[in-house]
Amino acid sequence: MEKGKDYCRLIEKNLEIQQQKINPKDYKFYLVGRFLQYARHVEKYADSCVECNNFKSDIVHVTSNLENYLNRSKTNKQEYEMISDKIFSHLSKNHGIKPSNYYTSLYSVFGILAGGFLGLLLSYLFYNGFSKLILFVLLIGFLVGNILGYRKDKKLRTNNLQL
């Protein structure tokens, strides 16, 4: 199996060839481009992680047979998604790799929920019912979550831990 840049170049080439055979909508919907990102990351960990090392051949197989996976039956598509999910969840759980904006979205939602709850509590405490305070605290929650999440995503980006 090729190593380092040669390996990634092989995957890139596979995708270029297969891209012409796949419906552009499917290419986008099934996040085919992610396989190049997978390749870059598993190559990085292949020497120290058995699973990543095994994924290398899976990625070669999928990227050179995309038309068989995506242009045929539903079962083939499901199989494709299963492989993609398996690699994705391994990279996420074992190596802390996340899609871009992962924490920004996650923390924003947390912020809205926490802000909404706190706002409701304060509003009942100070105004004995609903008030504009709820919306105000909710907005602050969103902003805080958004900023903290953005910072965390930025850190992942600088450490090359993003898909």
Summarize as ranges the residues that interact with Zn ion (CB under 5 A).
Answer: 45, 49, 51-52, 94
Residue number, 15 or 56, with CB nearest to Zn ion: 56
Residue number, 49 or 144, with CB nearest to Zn ion: 49
Helices (H) and strands (E) counted in the chain, each on its own, are: 8, 0
Residue number, 27 or 45, with CB nearest to Zn ion: 45
Residue 120 CA to residue 52 CA, distance in Å, equals 47
Question: What minimum distance in Å lies between the beta carbon of 88 and Zn ion?
Answer: 12
Question: What minimum distance in Å lies between the beta carbon of 47 and Zn ion?
Answer: 10
Question: What minimum distance in Å lies between the beta carbon of 43 and Zn ion?
Answer: 11
Structure tokens at 120: 């409701």
Residue 90 CA to residue 126 CA, distance in Å, equals 48
- With a CB cutoff of 8 Å and minimum separation 6, the contacts of 134 are 116, 119, 120, 122, 123
